């Protein structure tokens, strides 16, 4: 048994954005799901702080 947690998927993070985010963050999650790989990378870089915040929310399974 290890203490390692599995890496979160983009789907899990965008699900948290859609479920717990305000209008802009929810739209960003939806936009990410529709984007191609190049544009997904651009969105992740441009909104890294939002991505990190919602990765934590997804990890917890709820708002902090």
Range of the domain at 16: 10-60
Residue 21: inside a domain: yes
Q: Is 3 a domain residue?
A: no
Domain annotation covers residue 2: no
Is residue 33 one of the residues assigned to a domain?
A: yes
pLDDT digits (tens, 9 = 90+) for 38-52: 999 999 999 999 999
Residue 64 has pLDDT above 70, yes or no: no
Count the domains in the chain.
Answer: 1
- pTM for the whole structure: 0.85
pLDDT tens digits, 2-31 = 556 568 999 999 999 999 999 999 999 999
Closest CA to 61 of 12, 5, 18: 12
Return all residues near 59 (Cβ < 8 A) that are at least 6 apart: 5, 8
Distance between CA atoms of residues 21 and 2, nearest Å: 32
pLDDT higher at 7 or 64: 7
Distance between CA atoms of residues 59 and 45, nearest Å: 20
Q: What is the pLDDT of residues 32-41, one digit of tens each?
A: 999 999 999 9
Q: Tell whether 5 is covered by a domain.
A: no
């Amino acid at each position: 048994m290890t203490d390692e947690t599995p890496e979160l998927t983009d789907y899990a993070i965008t699900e948290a954005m859609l479920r717990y985010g305000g209008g802009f963050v929810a739209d960003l999650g939806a936009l990410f799901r529709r984007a191609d790989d190049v544009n997904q990378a651009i969105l992740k870089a441009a909104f890294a702080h939002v991505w990190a915040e919602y990765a934590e929310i997804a990890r917890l399974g709820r708002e902090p």
